[in-house]
Amino acid sequence: MDNKELLKTCQTVRVDIVNMVGHAGSGHCGGSLSAVEIVVGLYFGGIFRHDAKNAQWQGRDRFILSKGHAAPVIYSVLARKGFYGVARLDTLRKLGSILQGHPNAEKTPGIDCSSGSLGQGLSISNGLGIAFKKLNMDNRVYCLMGDGELQEGQIWEAAMTAKQHKLDNICAIVDCNNVQLDGTVSEIKDLHPLREKWLAFGWHVIELDGHNIEQVIESFRKAADIKGLPTVLLCHTIKGKGISYMENRCEWHGTAPNAQQLEKALKEIHKELRGMG
């Protein structure tokens, strides 16, 4: 898929996200929209090994959505990759749906880990990474976390473990949108200096523009070439990216757009799509 098609896919995923959350009447737009290029780059950029027709293929890589409230972004991407029909997206958060408010690995094809309680994803990734090493398997593990989530102490315990075991088959990803539930990350519990913290914990660090799809894909490739230590991508993003009235607004962390707001959001995204030709 060329760069133009990747960009169009990102906008299609944004349409899916706001439609899903709007129709459900609940859910998390802000942190889903900020992670679009990250997840699209991983799945559509020739990075992530998977088989939509065989979701449990043992040779697949693993994706752990540690910030499980951003489920709409992975649900859209999995549907667009053919793990299930796109029509399923309209069932988000409905009784009996395979697409619940947080990922459920027992119900949703393509979901490798049930998540939602923040701070646990990197520890789970470590377990997978250690297992793959012991089994001499070359599978890779990708763990997407929010920057607010890094305020959880368990993340830093897991960071030490990954370094201790030289888990170069793990790629942690931090969606650095600097906004959490009720304020900015810097106001609530400042992470600065974040790069230096990860370096001090013995990780290889790559900083990038998390909305530049080419940088995202290239960073994943660079991470795969690092041997002997784990890699973290610090992806600088915008909460609510692509929707003018949602961008950098903490109130859109977990609020669904009403009918008028949804219409405005879709108009903005479709305008962007038309501009792509």
- Residue boundaries of the structural domains of the chain: 3-275
> Tens of pLDDT along 102-111?
999 999 999 9
> Tens of pLDDT along 64-118?
999 999 999 999 999 999 999 999 999 999 999 999 999 999 999 999 999 999 9
pTM, to two decimals: 0.98
State the SS3 of the chain: CCHHHHHHHHHHHHHHHHHHHHHHCCCCCHHHHHCHHHHHHHHHCCCCCCCCCCCCCCCCCEEEECCHHHHHHHHHHHHHCCCCCHHHHHHCCCCCCCCCCCCCCCCCCCCCCCCCCCCCHHHHHHHHHHHHHHCCCCCCEEEEEECHHHHCHHHHHHHHHHHHCCCCCEEEEEEECCEECCEEHHHHHCCCCHHHHHHHCCCEEEEEECCCHHHHHHHHHHHHHCCCCCEEEEEECCCCCCCCCCCCCHHHCCCCCCHHHHHHHHHHHHHHHHHCC
> Tens of pLDDT along 14-54?
999 999 999 999 999 999 999 999 999 999 999 999 999 99
3-275 fold:
Rossmann fold (3.40.50)
Q: What is the mean pLDDT of residues 159-174?
A: 98
